[in-house]
Amino acid sequence: MWQNEPMRTATEFSKLKQAAKRHGTPLYVYDERIVTERYRELAAVISYPNLEIHFAVKANSNPRLLKLLKRLGADAETVSPGEIRLAKRAGFTSKQIAFTCANASAADLDAVIRAGGTVNADSLYQLEYFAKRLPKRRPLGVRINQGIAGGHHKHVMTGGPDSKFGIDPSQVRDAKRIAAKYGRKIDGVHQHIGSNVLDPPLFAKAMRALLGTARQFDELDYVDFGGGFGIPYRPGEPRLDIPKLGKLIDQTMADFVNEAGYQPRLAFEPGRYLVAEAGTLVVSVTDYKITPHKTFVGVDSGFNQLLRPAMYGSYHHIENASNPRGRAQKVTVAGNVCESGDVFAKDRPLAAPRIGDLLAIRTAGAYGETMASTYNARPLPKVAVIT
Ligand code: LLP
C-alpha cells in the first residue's frame, strides 16, 4: 500500500488529531507500524546471507524510532560524533555503528576512534589518520567515488567529478600503500551515489562499478553500497520496485562471489526508505488571505521545520485532516518564516481549509525534523510517536 494514498482511513486522521490535541502543533507524528513494514519489506527482498542494514541516522534520529530499528535488526550509519552518541543512547553497540564523513575535524576523527565501530575513510588524508591510530581489530574501509550519481536533486547526488565525497578509483593503489605503511589492510569499500533513487538498474550499475574496484583489493571483509532507496512523494507515483531491486542485488553479489571466490559482508545504508512515509508534519491553519492573484493558506510552521520544499523544491502531499471531505480549493500553503520562499505547496488543491484546521504534510519522516532549525527564534517542532 502506498502510505500517502488519499483514501487514508478516518482512524489515521483521528490519531493525528488526538496527537495534535495532546501536544499542540506544529508536530511531527511518526507511525512505528510503517517503519516496521518498510524495514521487513526491504530485508525480505535481499537473500544474500551476510546482509546488514545500517539505518542512516541523519534521516531521523528520534530515539523511539532508533530503538525500534535496532529491535528490528538494523545497525546504524552515522556522520558525526553527535549521531554516534544518539545511536549509542538508543542501544546500538559500537560494533553496530559505522561512520563516514567528508571533511571531519581532527576532534571528530579522534571522537570516532574513541567511540568504536566501523570507519569508512572519505579521503586519503582520513585514511592515513585512521590507519595510524585505529586499533587493528577495528574495521577500516574507504569510500570510493565511482563517478555514478543518482537522486532527486543535484544537492543530493554524491557521485561524479563535482562531488566532494570519496577517493577516485585511480587512487586505490595509494590507499593500499597507506594502509600497508601502518601494517594493516583495507577491510571494506563504501559508496553512496545519492538520495531518493527510484531506478533499480542504476543501483546495480553502481554496485558493479564498486565491486570492480573491490577486485583490486585482497579479500575484503565488507562492501557497503550506501543508501538512496527512493520513495513516492506524489499520489500515484510508482514505488521503487524493491522485489526487482532485491533480485538485482542478489544477482550482482552472486556474480562477484563467483568471480572473487569469497563472500564479503554486504551493507546498505537506507535512511529515507525506512522512515519518510512514517512521518507527518501536522500544522494548524493560522491565516487565510485572498489576493487578486492567489489564495494563501498560512500555517504555524515553516521551512525552519520542514526545509525540503524550500531547499530542493520537493513535493510533500498535504491533506486537510480536519475537513477531509471539504470542497477542493486551489491554494498556496505558506509558513510563518519571514521569507517569501517559505512555501510548502504552490497552487495546490486542498479540501476547504478553515482557520484552526489541522493540515497533514505527508512523507515528512526523513530529513524533516533532523533538518529543522530555530531560524526566526522559533522553537523546534514537537514530536509524537504513534503505533
Ligand atoms: N549513507 C550516506 C553516506 C549518506 O550520505 C546518506 C545520505 C545515506 C546513507 C542515506 O541516504 P538515503 O537512504 O536517506 O537516501 N536532505 C536530503 C537528503 C540528503 C541525503 C544525504 N546523505 C533530502 O531531504 O532529500
Q: Does ligand 1 come within 6 angstroms of the Cβ of 332? A: no
Residue 367 Cα to ligand 1 midpoint, Å, equals 8
Contact 227, 77 (CB under 8 A): yes
Evaluate: CB of 382 within 6 angstroms of ligand 1. no
Indicate the pTM of the whole model. Answer: 0.96
Return the percentage of the chain with pLDDT > 90, whole number.
94
Cα–Cα distances (Å) from 45 to 39, 177, 360, in that order, read 10, 38, 31
Mean pLDDT of the chain: 96
Ligand 1, atom 24, lies closest to the CA of: 367
Residue 9 has pLDDT above 80, yes or no: no
Q: Is residue 141 in contact with ligand 1, taking CB distance under 6 Å?
A: no
Q: List, for residues 240-268, the tens digit of each pLDDT value.
A: 999 999 999 999 999 999 999 999 999 99
The CATH number of 32-275 is 3.20.20.10
Centroid of ligand 1 to alpha carbon of 366 (angstroms): 9
Our answer on whether the CB atom of 59 is closer than 6 Å to any ligand 1 atom is yes
List pLDDT tens digits, range 118-129. Answer: 999 999 999 999
Query: Residue 41 pLDDT > 50, yes or no?
Result: yes
Q: How confident is the model at residue 8 (pLDDT cuts 50, 70, 90)?
A: low
In this structure, which residue's CA is closest to atom 9 in ligand 1? 227
**Residue from 52, 195, 281 to probe ligand 1 pocket by mutation (most atoms less than 8 Å from CB):** 195
Q: Best of 53, 58, 155, 308 to mutate for ligand 1, by most ligand atoms within 8 A of CB?
A: 58
Q: Establish whether residue 367 lines the binding site of ligand 1, counting it when its CB lies within 6 angstroms of any ligand atom.
A: yes
Distance from residue 204's CA to the centre of ligand 1 (Å): 18
- Closest Cα to residue 241, out of 42, 7, 32, 6? 42
pLDDT tier, 2 (very low <50, low <70, confident <90, very high otherwise): very low
Q: Is 246 in the pocket of ligand 1 (CB under 6 A)?
A: no
Ligand 1 atom with the shortest distance to the CA of 226: 1
The per-residue b/e assignment along 372-386, b for 16 or more CB within 10 angstroms, e otherwise, is beeeeebeebbbbbb
Q: Per residue in 165-215, pLDDT tens?
A: 999 999 999 999 999 999 999 999 999 999 999 999 999 999 999 999 999
Q: Which pLDDT belongs to residue 11?
A: 87
The pairing of strands 382-386 and 97-100 is unpaired
The full set of domain ranges for the chain reads: 10-28+276-386, 32-275
* The predicted structure's pLDDT at residue 3: 47
H or E, element range at 308: helix 308-312
Centroid of ligand 1 to alpha carbon of 58 (angstroms):
7
Q: Whose CA is nearest to atom 5 of ligand 1?
A: 192
12/70: higher pLDDT:
70
- Average pLDDT value for residue range 358-368: 98
Pocket test for ligand 1, best of 35, 192, 210, 274 (most atoms within 8 A of CB): 192
What is the spatial distance between Cα 42 and Cα 73, in angstroms, rounded to a whole number? 12
Ligand 1: does its nearest atom lie under 6 Å from the Cβ of 54? Answer: no
- C-beta of 100 in contact with ligand 1 (< 6 A): yes
Cβ atoms within 10 Å, residue 354: 12
For 10-28+276-386, CATH number out of 3.50.50.60, 2.40.37.10, 1.10.1740.10, 2.60.40.10 equals: 2.40.37.10
Question: Looking at per-residue confidence, does 4 or 85 come out higher?
Answer: 85
Query: What's the mean pLDDT in 347-374?
Result: 98
Longest dimension (CA), the chain: 72
Q: Which residues contact 310 (CB under 8 A, 6 or more apart)?
A: 303, 339, 341, 342, 343
Cα(35) to ligand 1 centroid in Å equals: 17
- Contact between 203 and 197 under an 8 Å Cβ cutoff? The reply is yes
Which residues belong to the active site?
338
Instruction: Report pLDDT for 1.
Output: 38
Asked whether this chain's domains 10-28+276-386 and 32-275 adopt the same fold, the reply is: no
Structural contact between residues 95 and 54, judged by C-beta atoms closer than 8 angstroms: no
Radius of gyration, alpha carbons of the chain: 22
Distance between CA atoms of residues 244 and 221, nearest Å: 26
Whether the pLDDT of residue 101 is over 80: the answer is: yes
Pocket of ligand 1 contains residue 228 by CB under 6 Å: yes
The answer to whether 239 touches 283, Cβ cutoff 8 Å, is: no
Percent of the chain at pLDDT above 70? Answer: 98
**230/44 Cα distance (integer angstroms):** 17
Q: Mind listing the pLDDT tens digit for each residue in 147-161?
A: 998 998 989 988 888
- Nearest-angstrom CA–CA distance, 277 and 35: 8
Which sign does the torsion angle of CA 329, 331, 336, 342 carry? positive
Centroid of ligand 1 to alpha carbon of 235 (angstroms): 22
Q: Per-residue pLDDT averaged across 106-111, rounded? A: 98
Ligand 1 centroid from CA 152, angstroms: 11
Q: Which atom of ligand 1 is nearest to the CA of 194?
A: 15
Mean pLDDT in residue range 88-114: 97
CA nearest neighbour of 196 among 232, 164, 160: 232
Strand partners, 51: 266
